[in-house]
Chain A
């Protein structure tokens, strides 16, 4: 498995969060998650402008094995979604931390990232699973 990017935060339900310069955050699913799910056949992203509570199911990734909910790791408003995934869901498999991002959020509060894991903690978490 590829190395975990050091600048990201991770959730127990296998999402990653990147803090952008403009204060928004980008959310996607981890490489480990896409590997477990297998080849993606469909991705559904939330509507722009939707307000999300922390850990709310907000997107769906469907692979040949299963359809799974994606949970937002933090509360916030959806400011942008990755619409390219509708036509190219395989991007999540190919580039989970880059072009395979799902959505950008404006966090509801500045401490919204508290409680998420750093790369070492997430690595230990998936090793123990």
Chain B
């Protein structure tokens, strides 16, 4: 039920009522509205109950285990939020001169330095306002690099077929043709196919390592050599950075450019279309192309670097300096962890994933890559259950909701049929993981005893199985008073 549907004509929340009528006689008459906007007319208590009830329907990391593979749904420490909202940060005006914002600039500079250190890149820009913009900036820099060298023939970006869909989308946005590279049976990139694909048209390759299959690309140095020898550059998609934080560095693997999703690895708020941050890091040859502004420090004072100092920069991606409030949260998180803490993130993320993988295998689930060690996530395939019992990955995912667990990622990556991509993250306890295994074992039992019970799941949630086809075909996004 929408708050509009609680509306009763004439009902008011007095606490919100204006004290005086606003004076608007300085506005042109034709711009003034002559009717009252159709806002819900409800009491204060109705508002409180409505939104409290809605919040209780939330299925979130604050209430439930959320092993949504590829999304790194870890706990975000409250301190990040609290400290990023200190009055000095909140009141800082983005147009204030650098001399009046030394505190904010110092935090941003340190964040640049910490991200450089943990990724092994030469330089970092915090400007991209989301992961997607970071990807765009990364490929735009690859293009700028080739253009600056007069190397205009390169019109292809190589993308492994296991990649996130954003990679081919970004390459296309930047005007490149996408050439897909197949994956071998062991989950690694097919290096022979890569060797055959590179050439004078290769601008670069976009790689995620660990890949979306939950395995580490073991021949990464060889891959880097093949692409570099062909004159191409290597792009690191930071989606799975959590698995290797402080352990292996993309810069050391030979990558030329990386984007980081701070909401995954550095504990900033997830999704909802809200503010994001997708910093980019580069090797020495791409440094001059980094998006501006950057923060500089001369040992005494912090200052902004703009396109005046960096004429080859791909430019600004947004007004001001990206989403500073989000960057501050990541800064606090990185500061709280320190160098050793970052190692522990990767260690416990992979330990939790491997523990969960082993236990689910013992419980009778099939792994997509049983011979490989998991990184921070792994894939279970329900192909056998689908064939034998007619129980799909979607059925298992929906039934998990009844047990109080968010579903893992389903049907991604597309390479594995009937797959669940499971990522526990480092912030879950062994007891929580055991509880998840127990629920999964029960579901496997139900698949044999009573598959229909799974087909109809969820049974205990505010809504039952939704009609996804109808939802996609008949979009219903707007409420109309008295309408249908």
Contacts and interface: CB of A to CB of B under 8 A. Distances in A.
B468 A39 contact: yes
Nearest to B468: A64
The prevalent SS among residues of A at the interface is loop
Given A36-B417, A39-B468, A66 B411 contact: yes
Contacts of A39: 468-469
Interface in A55-89: 64-68, 89
Contacts of B468: 39, 64
Contacts of B473: 41, 89
B412 A66 contact: yes
B96 interface: no
B414 interface: yes
B414 A41 contact: no
A68 B410 CA distance: 16
B472 interface: yes
B196 to A, nearest CB: 14
B37 to A, nearest CB: 35
A14 to B, nearest CB: 12
A42 interface: yes
Contacts of B414: 65-66, 68
A89 B469 CA distance: 11
Interface residues of A, number: 11
A41 B414 CA distance: 17
A89 B411 CA distance: 20
A28 B115 CA distance: 48
Contacts of A90: 469
Contacts of A89: 473
Interface in B378-429: 410-412, 414, 417
A68 B165 CA distance: 10
Contacts of A68: 414
B392 to A, nearest CB: 9
Contact of B469 (A36, A64, A66, A67): A64
Interface string B466-480: 001100110000000
A64 B472 contact: yes
B6 to A, nearest CB: 32
A64 B473 CA distance: 10
B190 to A, nearest CB: 14
Interface string B451-484: 0000000000000000011001100000000000
B353 to A, nearest CB: 24
20 contacts: A36-B417, A39-B468, A39-B469, A41-B469, A41-B472, A41-B473, A42-B472, A64-B468, A64-B469, A64-B472, A65-B410, A65-B411, A65-B414, A66-B411, A66-B412, A66-B414, A67-B165, A68-B414, A89-B473, A90-B469
Given A42-B472, A64-B468, A66-B411, 13 more contacts: A36-B417, A39-B468, A41-B469, A41-B472, A41-B473, A64-B469, A65-B410, A65-B411, A65-B414, A66-B412, A66-B414, A89-B473, A90-B469
